[in-house]
Amino acid sequence: MNAADLGLPVDVPSTALFTDQYELTMLQAALKAGTADRRSVFEVFTRRLPEGRRYGVVAGTGRVLDAVENFRFDAGVLGFLREQGIVDEPTLEWLAGYRFSGDIWGYPEGEVYFPGSPILRVEGSFAECVLLETVILSILNHDSAIAAAASRMSAAAAGRRLIEMGARRTHELAAVASSRAAYIGGFGATSDLAAGFRYGIPTVGTSAHAFTLLHDSERDAFRAQIDSLGKGTTLLVDTYDVAEAVRTAVELAGTDLGAVRIDSGDLLLVAHRVRQQLDELGATETKIVVTSDLDEYAIASLAAAPVDAYGVGTQLVTGSGHPTCSMVYKLVARAGSDDPKAPLVPVAKKSLGGKMSVGGRKWAARRLDDEGVAEAELLGTGPVPAELADRQLLVELVRGGEVVAREPLDAVRERHIRARAGLPMSAMQLSRGEPVIPTQYV
């Protein structure tokens, strides 16, 4: 059973304290001022893509939906807030009954985005929306960064298999989220069993150098692994001498040996030598897996090498140099009173230093050229032009506090493949550049 389909909490009974203190102090002040119930619209967007990136990838939406459902102030949480004097008693009473009852719209998970794209739109009272800022941003900023790195690596791999193996390079819970985001971005498997259990991602793994070093000889180690896991296993061949290890591996497993893994050295050179040796030994179907601090650039450099799969860890789970997307959560419209029928008034921050925002409740659409390739990201606050009616990007995720758009992870992964394929070919270039299509306000 896929735990993600059950809407289970991320890792704790409540996500309510995955927040910054000022969310609660703003709530207290708004309750006292009588403005807490004003209908409000918040939007998540980023003012720019990480330097040199051509597109972003929306990831974490499914986890956001779980987090919103589990945003509850139970007795233990309320007791902590009371003991620490974070908020007053009227606010604690209000929090005790908190349930998000508003609406959430957003780009479907796996879709690509650009500067200004309203990736998520949260609507409801100011009080219930403002509390969700930190947890929403923490999830989307992390997961989207990992998915973007994974997407670039997937493009560089050009169809060769990618294995996520970064659990030991990040926080244990971030590792699970990273596996999920990497799967969305194009990776086909993970070494992390918690990710396999929670999200149904295929898991893989055989042995490390420690297993070889445990035994009296490499031959003994290989024989033990083959006896236990079968001839289709993957043997790690760079503990001592690679050529001798390959020879021993084929001698013990025969030409049915599943794969060999190379984890050090000049991977391009070693892969060619290993492929030649395997073929000469008759193991023409034995695959070659390479690991060792790979990123999208290293993967691209191995395009001409006889490599069948890449295992990626550190660079993937750290966003390959960009561990966040710098997304923000801004109030863009609010009612002039707490009357449910009061019209929304656009609001926007005006400041120096590139932190200005555009007010108003926005729609988003993607204009295509005659070949069906994206050519512009169009944003607006008024009526949607008729010619863009079927090109709108935001979909309904939560209606009246109820999740209406939970979906299998494989559907998200397939969406990303389609979305990336719909971008100009220059989106796949690893060289630094501007967003592959412009953002235009209409």
pLDDT band for position 338 (cuts 50, 70, 90): confident
Mean pLDDT, the chain, whole residue set: 95
**Are 364 and 377 in contact, with CB atoms under 8 Å apart?**
yes
Residue-wise pLDDT tens digits, 254-275: 999 999 999 999 999 999 999 9
Say yes or no to pLDDT of 4 above 80: no
Half-sphere exposure of 349 (CA within 13 A, CB side): 14
Nearest-angstrom CA–CA distance, 271 and 268: 5
State the CATH number of the domain containing residue 282. Answer: 3.20.20.70
Q: Are residues 139 and 33 in the same domain?
A: yes
- Residue 9 is encoded by which pair of tokens? 């909490």
Note the pLDDT of residue 9.
43
Nearest-angstrom CA–CA distance, 176 and 346: 38
| Boundary residue ending a domain (307, 338, 364) | 307
> Does 191 fall in a domain?
no
State the CATH number of the domain containing residue 370. Answer: 3.20.140.10
Residues whose CB is less than 8 angstroms from the CB of residue 264 and which lie 6 or more positions away in sequence, other chains included: 238, 292
Percent of the chain scoring above 90 in pLDDT: 91
> Does 314 fall in a domain?
no
**Are 117 and 107 in contact, with CB atoms under 8 Å apart?**
yes
> Does 182 fall in a domain?
no
Percent of the chain scoring above 70 in pLDDT: 96
Q: Are residues 370 and 424 in the same domain?
A: yes
Q: Are residues 134 and 247 in the same domain?
A: no
CB atoms within 10 A of CB 286: 27
> Does 38 fall in a domain?
yes
Q: Are residues 394 and 342 in the same domain?
A: yes
Q: Are residues 8 and 135 in the same domain?
A: yes
Nearest-angstrom CA–CA distance, 278 and 235: 13
> Does 102 fall in a domain?
yes
| Boundary residue ending a domain (280, 307, 334) | 307
The arrangement of strands across the sheet holding 259-262 comes to 189-190, 161-164, 309-312, 287-290, 259-262, 234-236
Number of domains in the chain: 2
Q: Are residues 349 and 299 in the same domain?
A: no
Residue-wise pLDDT tens digits, 54-96: 999 999 999 999 999 999 999 999 999 999 999 999 999 999 9
SS3 237: coil
> What is the residue range of 67's domain?
3-146+322-441
Q: Are residues 296 and 372 in the same domain?
A: no
- Residue 159 is encoded by which pair of tokens? 């169809």
Q: Could you tell me which of 351, 376, 357 has the C-alpha nearest to residue 366?
A: 376
Q: Are residues 113 and 12 in the same domain?
A: yes
> Does 313 fall in a domain?
no
Between the alpha carbon of residue 414 and those of residues 7, 108, 153, 187, the distances in Å are 21, 12, 16, 12
| Boundary residue ending a domain (264, 284, 307) | 307
**Backbone phi and psi for residue 224, each to the nearest 5 degrees, phi listed first:** -65, -40
Q: What is the longest distance spanned by two Cα atoms in the chain?
A: 80
> Does 192 fall in a domain?
no
Average pLDDT over residues 230-246: 98
Note the pLDDT of residue 14.
83
Q: Could you tell me which of 277, 58, 290, 286 has the C-alpha nearest to residue 161?
A: 290
Q: Are residues 296 and 348 in the same domain?
A: no
Tokens 């506090």, residue located: 401
Q: Are residues 12 and 134 in the same domain?
A: yes
Half-sphere exposure of 297 (CA within 13 A, CB side): 6
Q: Are residues 382 and 273 in the same domain?
A: no
pTM of the model: 0.94
**Backbone phi and psi for residue 172, each to the nearest 5 degrees, phi listed first:** -60, -35
> Does 107 fall in a domain?
yes
SS3 373: coil
DSSP one-letter code for 122: E
Q: Are residues 279 and 341 in the same domain?
A: no
Average pLDDT over residues 11-40: 92
Note the pLDDT of residue 12.
53
Nearest-angstrom CA–CA distance, 246 and 248: 5
pLDDT band for position 352 (cuts 50, 70, 90): low
